Amino acid sequence: MLSELLLTDMHHNSGAAALPLHRRLYEGLRRAILNGHLAGGDRLPSSRELTQDLQLSRNTVMAALNQLSAEGYLVSRVGSGTFVNEQLPSPRLRGRTGRTTHAGARLSRRGTALATQFTSAELEIQPFTPGVADFSAFPVALWQRLQNKHWRMSYPDMLDYCYSGGHAPLRRAVTDYLRVSRSVPLDMDQVIITSGTQQSLELCAQMLADHGDTVWLEDPAYWGAVKAFMASGLRTHGVLVDADGMAPTAADERHAPRLIYTTPSHQYPTGAVMSLARRQQLLALAQKHQAWVLEDDYDSEFRFSGPPISSLAGLSPDERVLYLGSFSKVLYPGLKLGYLVVPKALAPAFRQAHYDLNRPGQMPLQAALAEFIELGHFASALRKARHSYAQRRQQLLDALQPCLGPHAHISGAEQGLHLCLRLPTTVDDQALALRIAQQGMTVRALSAYCLQRSDAKGLVIGYGYATLEDIAHWGPVLASTVKRALAAGRSGKKS
């Protein structure tokens, strides 16, 4: 029943506790619409019924309903009530913010595809949200001091666009870091500072492929990469991922790639580490098809067990690999700074195009980050984060132990901020993720990342954001919900 769902949502969503009641009700209803609990055309209980059932004032209920109507989630029909807008796309196709286009507004075919296909679902920031780091550990006061210092020192050319591919001290700091930590052979002229991985991917697609060319992606895939390639007019082709990473076959080769996008150190989202044999196969295929490999090394800073994984770029003497990194996970995503390492011969062209297309800037920010790295604060933030995530990861592994067995196992827990709980194909992982969301946690269904395949089921579970106390409390709840789903799957019943 809707009122029960809303009460649970308003009660359990601890992040919302500080919000006024009308905002909490608004968020609860909006979530119910976005996750499909309320479908387009569903009639809402009257405001009087909601007032009674939820024990809220009529003003509170009306404020929430009015806001949802103003944003297009609800429509009122005089005399018959309030309904969920039927024009909203279905939950699977709905965007990150759930925003719809203005009625009658015309999008291009590409725009429509971008707004409706393979969109990432709304991610509530609550225990187990994957891909989210613990920003509370970020040394804000220190960061502020460094920023102030560089703003005070800023002379006019620091306020200009940045022509040289990024502020030199930051490119130097990134070069030193990558040489030592990731065995990437490079000169600082090969480093281009971007506004993160999305921009790096778009630049690679624009510079190295033409409209209609094929890009291979891993299946399941990182939605951000899919979107960047769609936006650049490329054909996406999914290559199955197994326990050794991306596994191209002769059938894949019939879709000859111009670009190959891969996350070899910790496949996103399954967590598979690409084996040496596969790395060599991929590089040989890139050479054969004269394709470029885009190595997204998004979370290799956090490695907890097993031998260190070196980069693919370090294995490619013929410079077929472009290496992409980001500060989103170690520092914070809103920083919007990342880096792209391009082969020497391509560097001048990439710098020029980056300048012309993106008009990069933010040099005082880049200067502050360079100093943050040079003074050792980056290394110390990393050390602390590694220690803290290692504990959280272990606590989550312990909590999930009761649901493991012949029908469920964990992949990708050696590194990063998430792991993947693999489930049998009989389990409806999207329904399970929804049920877990209704309990106040956020996990992602593995099948939601799949391009063509339908045999990958599981849950992508993050431990970056969840505190040890959160995991101690919510871990057993998560495990028992999964256990029930497994038991129901075996008996053929709906759980």
Ligand X SMILES: Cc1ncc(COP(=O)(O)O)c(C=O)c1O
Binding site for ligand X (CB under 6 A): 131, 196-198, 222, 224, 263, 268, 296, 298, 326, 328, 333, 338
Return the axis-axis angle of helices 140-153 and 363-374, rounded to nearest 10°: 130
| CB proximity list for 249: less than 8 A, separation 6 or greater | 239, 240
Report the residue number, 331 or 471, with the smaller CB distance to ligand X.
331
Nearest distance in Å: CB 196, ligand X: 3
| CB proximity list for 274: less than 8 A, separation 6 or greater | 244, 245, 246, 262, 264, 265, 267, 282, 312
DSSP string, 139-183: -HHHHHHHHHHHHHH--GGGGS---SSS-HHHHHHHHHHHHHHH-
What is the Rg, in whole angstroms, of the alpha carbon atoms belonging to the chain?
A: 24
Where does residue 123 rank: exposed (0-12), middle (13-18), buried (19+ CB within 10 A)?
middle
Classified as helix, coil or strand, 411 is strand
| CB proximity list for 99: less than 8 A, separation 6 or greater | none
Nearest distance in Å: CB 265, ligand X: 11
Report the residue number, 16 or 294, with the smaller CB distance to ligand X.
294
Nearest distance in Å: CB 223, ligand X: 9
Report the residue number, 45 or 416, with the smaller CB distance to ligand X.
416
Report the residue number, 175 or 197, with the smaller CB distance to ligand X.
197
Tokens coding 97: 């913010």
Nearest distance in Å: CB 339, ligand X: 9
CB count within 10 Å of CB 173 equals 22
Nearest distance in Å: CB 298, ligand X: 3
Nearest distance in Å: CB 200, ligand X: 8
Nearest distance in Å: CB 340, ligand X: 11
Number of H helices, E strands in the chain: 16, 14
Report the residue number, 339 or 350, with the smaller CB distance to ligand X.
339
Report the residue number, 26 or 268, with the smaller CB distance to ligand X.
268
CA distance 443 to 420: 10
Nearest distance in Å: CB 260, ligand X: 15
Report the residue number, 175 or 326, with the smaller CB distance to ligand X.
326
| CB proximity list for 394: less than 8 A, separation 6 or greater | none
Where does residue 333 rank: exposed (0-12), middle (13-18), buried (19+ CB within 10 A)?
middle
Report the residue number, 56 or 313, with the smaller CB distance to ligand X.
313
